[in-house]
Structure 1
Amino acid sequence: MPSERSWTFGPILDVPAPDRTIADLLEAVRLRLRMDAAWLARAEDDLLVIEALDGDGESFGVIPGATLRGAASYFALVLAGECPDIIRDVHAQMPAETLPAGGELRAGAYAAVPVFERDGSFYGVLAALSHTPRPDLQARDGRFLRLVAEVVTDSVSDLHRVWERRTAFWDRVSEVIDSGGPTMVFQPIVDLGDDGRIVGVEALARFPSDVTETAGTDEPDVRADAAVREGPRTDGDAPAGVSAAARAATMTVRDCSTGRQELGEVDVSEPEQWFAGAAAVGLGTELELAAVRAALANLPFLPPDVFMSVNVSPGTVGSELVELLQDVEPSRLLLEITEHTRIKEDSEVFRTLAELRARGVRIGADDVGSGYAGLSRFLALRPDLVKMDHYLTHGIDADPARRAVANALIQVADEIGASVLAEGIETEAELTTLRATRVQLGQGNHIARPAALPLNPRRAPRDP
């Protein structure tokens, strides 16, 4: 269903060259003037639209893409030269209402100069802010700001093209959300014990194939794309010791499609780029929630003893997610926390996870073993499921060091009562080694590729 969305246009993954130049210049301004934040804003009617920002903009209540109202009178002052470049003490030198959203910015000191395009037309404002008054700022700091503004002129003309690409991507993400997307496929999670039965599935989002050009990046998500790019595997190709149910799940997505979950010829198209790009244009949380909603709609297609794992970043863990999960049987859900950011134990994210866990929702930690961030997140979450990073899984059969790390993770997981899931299993040798290492659960293309539901092990042929 369409909804009101805010416009936020931060950099998307492969940052265009004009953006990199502007980002470097804004950092130089902030450091040289010793301010808390610096930004470039585009003038649009009575608005200033923050196009690029460096520093702690959130403490002033602004982020890339935010708009500041009441700017028309301020533009007139800037263009007429009646507004000084350097305002050492906002409250003492000029009324707060003179500045765009001045009363809301909570700025103690303010520095700003106009920015023009190559043809001499007014583009916007280059500004820097401090929370506290800055009596030490000098006139030459204003001249430095004007020097930077002249350099920025060489880049802002190219920003129109960047802006158009970002608005197009914003529209594309909105279309996916409003149409009930993204499309979801599900990769089986199997018990690596003797029966090899499916115990769960991970919900994975799939998107239309035009994101790369729209989002302005040429970097493919090889890992995500490989999940369905390969051809179908026959039962004879299935790994030994994996149930017929899991083998049945290896059919292609197109063969597995149902009326509810019609995927057809849609490509995988770099899901991680879609989510990262959506976050950059202010739709990250909404897209993640849409993916969770689409995944949960398929829960009835799973047997009651098979759980569903859904992925969310810490920024999505909040009241909207709690409301979305309100009517879901908690024992059937695993909430997998992605993104390599530290979660503080006194944060709202941590409190929300504690609330969900108290209801019976299990929590999983993604990519444990991939570095310090993964380990710190593991220690903070105390997860019910530990997902062993694919970097550890790949080649574990031939690398004693990987096996040693896996054994250590298993020991720690045992101590906290968690299960270990090895992702990215691609070969029979890896599968055999993981079994010998006592990893309880496994997931990967060698076992079963992602596919649409239903993947009902009770309907699948049994092993002879």
Structure 2
Amino acid sequence: MNADFTSVLNRSKHQTIREAVVDTLKESLSALRDYLGMETIFVSEIEDGRLWFLTVDEATPFLKPLIPGNGLPLNDTLCYWVCNDILPHIIQSRDPIMETVRHLRDDENFDIGIHVSFPIHIHPGLPFGTICCFSRKERPPLTDVELRMFRTMAEMISANLRLHAKISGLDEPLCEDLAQTLRKPAISPVFQPIKRFEDGHIIGYEGLSRFQEMPQHSPQDMFALAQNYGMGPKLELNAANCILDEAERLNLTSLISINHSPDSLLAPSLQSRFEAYLEGNAQRALAVEISEQAVIQDFARLGRRLDALRALGVKIALDDVGQGNAGLAHILALKPDLIKLDRVIVAELANRKENRAMVSALLQFSKETGCELIAEGIETEDEKAILMDLGVKYGQGFYLGRPAPLPRQH
């Protein structure tokens, strides 16, 4: 069954590229699937947190037909984790890696005979999408010739994409910069202190990333762009490794807090890195920060991952509380150990009684649940004084200390 690319997609960013490339693929994909003896082959595009099926050829539908124009949440697909170097390009049912596959899918019964996936690129190192081929039934490992055929198809599609991107004026410099960062991480960790108001004692640091070779782009822009291209976990894992490597080099034993999206928290390699960091010194402490603005599609699934991190001794922090509308739902669902009050609340404490009432309510909540409240974005002595009057004990912000490299501790 050869499914045509007939759906009209609402995504306009690569529309001309999509149409030019997909029409050339149908017969080639069908021939490649037959040659490999597989059940399903497809080409996809990654955009806006989803894997969109552009063209599909299936001998028999896998569970349900894959429809061109439809999409799946990225973290429900194996291709997503292949692009982020968390899963290998080739997975077979008897491989030990299947345990990791089931972990990522949160499905102990998931099984597949063989799965082969390679990214396709407009910018080298930054996937436009994937070409993927799989079967439910087991088959012998791919021969060198079969693997070369599959790689060649991925390279041909990538070359076609780059050609049409250049013709259409979509070869974006910022994307080139991100691709370079993903290929060769050049991340400088900096640390912003979290202080106790009473005596100025540093209780911990938020570990942050600066991109050495592209200071013209804000870190927020780089992480947001990586997330949009389906490479958020890879960049976040690179950043976490750099921060923890530096904390180890500096002999830090204070709490280190690192920002993570819900997707990157699913990566088994992150849990292993956290475990190694904490086991290296019993005095070390670690927290992960999840933004109130984060899109959480499955609270139960994320909750199980957070429970596994808590079992290692990792604290869970909810960041940016007060900036969006999801704060209460996130607090109740995630049961954070730390609540970080956003700058938008702190900045208007003197002028808005509603802001002061929110702080008071969160303080009462934190007392009853045993979590700690930390105010972020403190920029003046007056803001600090109001927070102390309200009963807040801890804070972070430019007034208390800017993000900066730290000297080695002895």
**Which TM-score band (shorter chain)?**
0.5 to 0.7
1:182 to 173, 184, 187: 187
Matching residue of 2:296: 342
Indicate the residue corresponding to 1:284 in structure 2: 232
What residue in structure 2 maps to residue 313 of structure 1? Answer: 261
1:11-22 equivalences in 2 (<5 Å): 22=12
Q: Which amino acid aligns with 1:198?
A: I
Alignment-derived partner of residue 269 in structure 1: 217
**One-letter amino acid of the counterpart of residue 328, structure 1:** Y
Cross-structure match for 2:276: 327
> For the residues of structure 2 that align with 1:169 and 1:444, how far apart are their CA atoms?
29
DSSP 3-state at the match of 2:277: coil
Counterpart residue number, 2:123:
none
The answer on 1:295 being equivalent to 2:243 is yes
SS of corresponding position for 1:22: coil
Structure 1 ranges of 4+ moved more than 6 A: 23-26, 108-112, 156-159
**Over residues 110-165 of structure 1, what are the superposed CA-to-partner deviations in whole Å (9 max), with x where a residue is unaligned?**
799xxxxxxxxxxxxxxxxxxxxxxxxxxxxxxxxxxxxxxxxxxx9778545422
* Correspondence 1:382 to 2:330: no
In structure 2, relative to structure 1, the CA distance for the partners of 1:302 and 1:362 (3 Å cut) is farther
Q: Shift in Å at residue 191 of structure 1?
A: 0.7
CA shift for structure 1 position 187 = 0.7
In 1, distance between residues paired with 2:348 and 2:286? 30
* Overall identity of the aligned pairs, in %: 31
Contact 1:202–1:309, Cα closer than 8 Å, also in 2: yes
Aligned-partner SS, 1:403: helix
Distance 1:317 1:436, change over 3 A: same
**Structure 1 residues 192-245: Cα deviation after superposition (integer angstroms, max 9, x where no partner):** 12x1111111111112575xxxxxxxxxxxxxxxxxxxxxxxxxxxxxxxxxxx
Paired with 2:271 and 2:237, the residues of 1 have a C-alpha distance of: 11
- Determine which of 107, 115, 118 is the counterpart of 2:65: 107
CA distance in 2, matches of 1:354, 1:23: 39
In the alignment, the residues of structure 2 paired with residue 52 and residue 289 of structure 1 have an alpha-carbon distance, to the nearest angstrom, of 19
For 1:397 and 1:302, how far apart are their aligned partners in 2?
A: 39
Native 8 Å contact 1:40 1:52 kept in 2: no
Residues 259-314 of structure 1, C-alpha deviation per residue, up to 9 Å, x if partnerless?
xxxxxxxx373111101101122211000000000000111355654111101000
The offset of 1:52, in angstroms, is 7.6
Name the counterpart of 1:218. Answer: none
Q: Distance in 2 between matches of 1:296 and 1:52?
A: 30
Q: Counterparts of 1:384 and 1:106 in 2: how far apart (Å)?
A: 41
> SS at 1:433's partner residue?
helix
Cα contact 1:424–1:444 (8 A) shared by 2: yes
Instruction: Measure, in 2, the Cα distance between the counterparts of 1:207 and 1:108.
Output: 39
Q: 1:436 is matched with which residue: 365, 385, 389?
A: 389
Partner of 1:185, secondary structure, is: strand
Q: Is the 8 A contact 1:427 1:446 kept in 2?
A: yes
Alpha-carbon separation, structure 2, partners of 1:109 and 1:182:
40
Q: Does residue 1:173 correspond to 2:131, yes or no?
A: no
Give the Cα–Cα distance (whole angstroms) in 1 for the partners of residues 66 and 208 of structure 2.
47
Kindly provide the amino acid, as one letter, of the partner of residue 22 in structure 1. S
Residue 352 of structure 1 is matched in structure 2 by 305
Mapping of 1:13-412 within 5 angstroms?
A: 22=12, 42-43=21-22, 46=28, 49-51=43-45, 63-64=51-52, 96-97=58-59, 103=61, 106-107=64-65, 160-161=167-168, 163-165=170-172, 169=174, 171-193=176-198, 195-208=199-212, 210=214, 267=215, 269-300=217-248, 305-318=253-266, 319-329=268-278, 331-338=284-291, 339-342=293-296, 344-347=298-301, 349-412=302-365
When normalised by structure 2's length, the TM-score is: 0.61
Aligned in 2, Cα 1:408/1:40: closer, same or farther, shift over 3 Å? Answer: farther
Amino acid at match of 2:200: G
Measure the CA separation in 1 of the matches of 2:191 and 2:47: 38
Higher RCO structure, 1 or 2 (CA under 8 Å, sep 6+): 1
Task: Answer yes or no: is the 8 Å Cα contact 2:46–2:230 preserved in 1.
Answer: no
Task: Tell me which amino acid in the other structure corresponds to 1:325.
Answer: F
CA distance in 2, matches of 1:403, 1:365: 19
For the 8 Å contact 2:339–2:373, the answer to whether it is kept is yes
Aligned to 1:297, the other structure's residue is in SS state: helix
Letter aligned with residue 334 of structure 1 = A
Structure 2 residue identity aligned to 1:281 = Y
Q: Distance in 2 between matches of 1:159 and 1:375?
A: 46
- How well do the aligned residues superpose, as a CA RMSD in angstroms? 3.6
Q: Which residue of 2 aligns with 1:414?
A: 367
Letter in 1 for 2:197: L
Task: Write the distance in 1 (CA, Å) between the matches of 2:265 and 2:303.
Answer: 9
Quickly say closer, same or farther: Cα 1:299–1:51, change in 2 above 3 A. Answer: closer
- Structure 1 counterpart of 2:210, one-letter code: R
Residue 377 of structure 1 aligns to a residue whose secondary structure is helix
Amino acid at match of 2:255: F
Aligned residue pair count: 288
The one-letter amino acid paired with 1:164 is D
Q: Structure 1 residues 158, 174: closer, same or farther in 2, change over 3 A?
A: closer
The secondary structure found in structure 2 opposite 1:328 is: helix
Q: Secondary structure of the residue that 1:398 maps to in structure 2?
A: coil
Instruction: Return closer, same or farther for 1:370/1:41 CA change in 2, 3 Å cut-off.
Output: farther
Whole-Å separation in 1 of the counterparts to 2:165 and 2:186 = 32
Residue 171 of structure 1: CA displacement? 4.9
Report if aligned partners of 1:180, 1:294 keep a CA contact under 8 Å in 2.
no
